[in-house]
Amino acid sequence: MPYAAQLSLQEATGPTMEEVIFLHDHVLLLTCLMSLVIMMFALTATMTTLTHNDPTEEVEQLEAAWTAAPIMILILTALPSVRSLYLMEEVFDPYLTIKATGHQWYWNYEYSDNIQMSFDSYMIQTKDLQNGSPRLLEVDHRMVMPAGLQARVVVTAEDVLHSWAIPSLGVKVDAVPGRLNQIPLTTSRVGVFFGQCSEICGANHSFMPIAMEAIPLYHFEQWLIKDQ
């Protein structure tokens, strides 16, 4: 959950979000360093330049510098970006598959891989919330998965465009009618993680939250037996 007046990204609760934060910090540090170097170079050149005019049309060293510098910046930015994209989209032998289908305005979850179960997830109205429950985020049926194991989430939509997103896990997948998008989902600890539809989908777009609960594997197996 984000805190009041928080300026940074949410705390990472999975390997995907850890990669996002690492890439963000890397690009931010690179940008600040390059800006500082350029400012110091411009300041030094201004203070040490002679008062007469120096033509710069045929200065090969300067042309080589302003060509090589952007290339190095792009390489230093592209390499970690490609690595992060690969790790964020590759599915490695998932423990289970969950299909999330967006509707106007709720989510439907269907468990497969020898688990035949499906349920709808609606937002709990403010007057029905229990003490301590987050407003506009809590749902009547949470999506449940085992912590520490990888799940494959297949996302689609029934009517219009939606988007299945949980910021603390670094997950955001477009839900497109007639198309299946998949993404790996892994949590590094137990807990309840909230998100919302991130694609404007109609009048009640703000009232179709996402609540995912990660529990130990033993408790997950008990939950399956109880709800099937």
Any domain includes 199: yes
Q: 54 pLDDT exceeds 70?
A: no
Q: What is the pLDDT of residue 213?
A: 93
Q: Which of 32, 61, 87 lies at the terminal end of a domain, its last residue?
A: 87
Q: Which of 55, 87, 119 lies at the terminal end of a domain, its last residue?
A: 87
Place of tokens 């349920």: 119
The Cα-based distances of 163 to 10, 23, 104, 160 in angstroms read 19, 23, 12, 10
Q: In the chain, which ranges are continuous DSSP H helix?
A: 15-48, 60-89, 217-227
Beta bridge partners of 192: 213
CATH number at residue 118: 2.60.40.420
Any domain includes 175: yes
Q: State whether 190 and 115 are in the same domain.
A: yes
Q: 168 pLDDT exceeds 70?
A: yes
CATH number at residue 17: 1.10.287.90
Any domain includes 152: yes
Q: State whether 81 and 107 are in the same domain.
A: no
Q: State whether 106 and 187 are in the same domain.
A: yes
Any domain includes 131: yes
| Radius of gyration for the alpha carbons in the chain, expressed in angstroms and rounded | 24
Q: State whether 21 and 106 are in the same domain.
A: no
Q: Domain of residue 39: give its range.
A: 13-87
Q: State whether 34 and 82 are in the same domain.
A: yes
Number of domains the chain is built from: 2
Any domain includes 161: yes
Q: What is the pLDDT of residue 227?
A: 64
CB 9 within 8 A of CB 24: yes
Q: What is the pLDDT of residue 58?
A: 62
Q: 111 pLDDT exceeds 80?
A: yes
User: What region does 178 belong to: left with phi over 0, alpha with psi -120 to 50, or beta?
Assistant: left
Q: State whether 142 and 204 are in the same domain.
A: yes
Q: pLDDT over 90 for what percent of the chain?
A: 34
